[in-house]
Amino acid sequence: MSTELPQSSVPPPTGVDEPSSAPTRRTFIATTTAVGAVVAGGVIGGTLLVDDEVAAAGAPPESRVSLTVNGTRRTVTVDNRTSLLDLLREQFGLTGSKKGCNAGACGACTVFVDGRRVNSCLTLAVRLEGAEVTTIEGLAEGDELHPLQQAFVDEDAFQCGYCTPGQIMSGVGCIQEGHTGSPEEIREWMSGNICRCGCYVKIVRAVEQTAARK
């Protein structure tokens, strides 16, 4: 059983030495700080008080970022606290990428950044200058579904559909990475994407069949 903390479906990046779209440890921490708004508090004499030290906020810093989303170049001014996921959903109207946990534990927000699957909830938009982002909306070729999208329909590899875009993006990544040697290997490399409806058997089947067709 997965008694460990769920990991991001993304293997840790190696040799990242320039500011790029890759999700580095620093990106992760910065995003966690920005997105995880939590009231700090402590017990004083039986009464819980909110920390008085919370700094009075100034204007949040903004940045201009140019990135390509599903082949379209976009230049936007973003609040530096904005995650890629919130940029996609709240500003670009690309709601195919889903917010399931906003903490990198469920994979519903999986997209490609420069060809690699990442949790977009843990990726700050401001770090994506020049990046190529592909979301579920950019996977099909016009009316023709990507083979894995079609396999998900044929195998009925989903029910509610909410984790599905992330599963499919992750599955495409899994196939590209060559982690489809056996059902066991697929299960392992697809375990960063939770499906609460429990469609795992069919997700594995869909990924396996699509990989075999390549």
Interface positions, 4-23, toward other proteins (CB under 8 A):
5-6
**What are the φ/ψ torsions at residue 69 (nearest 5 degrees)?**
-120, 120
Of 17 and 144, nearer to other proteins (C-beta) is 144
Q: How far apart are CA 158 and CA 202, in angstroms?
A: 8
- Order of strands, edge to edge, in the sheet holding 110-113? 72-79, 62-69, 132-134, 110-113, 116-119
Task: Read off the tokens for 91.
Answer: 């500003």
Distances (CA, A) of 103 to 13, 122, 200: 18, 7, 21
> What is the nearest approach in angstroms of other proteins to the Cβ of residue 24?
20
Which residues, at least 6 apart from 214, have a Cβ–Cβ distance to it below 8 Å? 175
Of 67 and 204, nearer to other proteins (C-beta) is 204
Q: From the list 14, 17, 39, 141, which residue makes contact with other proteins (rule: CB under 8 A)?
A: 39
Q: How far apart are CA 58 and CA 171, in angstroms?
A: 42
> What is the nearest approach in angstroms of other proteins to the Cβ of residue 214?
18
Q: How far apart are CA 145 and CA 93, in angstroms?
A: 21
Q: From the list 20, 24, 30, 34, which residue makes contact with other proteins (rule: CB under 8 A)?
A: 34
Kindly state the greatest CA–CA separation across the chain: 66
Q: From the list 3, 14, 75, 77, which residue makes contact with other proteins (rule: CB under 8 A)?
A: 3
Give the H or E element holding residue 154.
helix 147-155
**Which residues, 50 to 79, sit near other proteins by CB under 8 A?**
50, 52, 54, 56-60, 79
Q: From the list 27, 82, 110, 123, which residue makes contact with other proteins (rule: CB under 8 A)?
A: 82
Of 18 and 55, nearer to other proteins (C-beta) is 55
Tell whether residue 110 is a contact of other proteins (CB under 8 A): no
Tell whether residue 46 is a contact of other proteins (CB under 8 A): yes
Region binding other proteins by CB under 8 A among candidate stretches 17-25, 112-120, 126-134, 200-208: 200-208
Write each residue from 149 to 178 as x if it is in contact with other proteins (CB under 8 A), else as -, in one continuous string. xx-xxx-x-xxxxxxxx--x----------
How many residues at the interface with other proteins, by CB under 8 A? 85
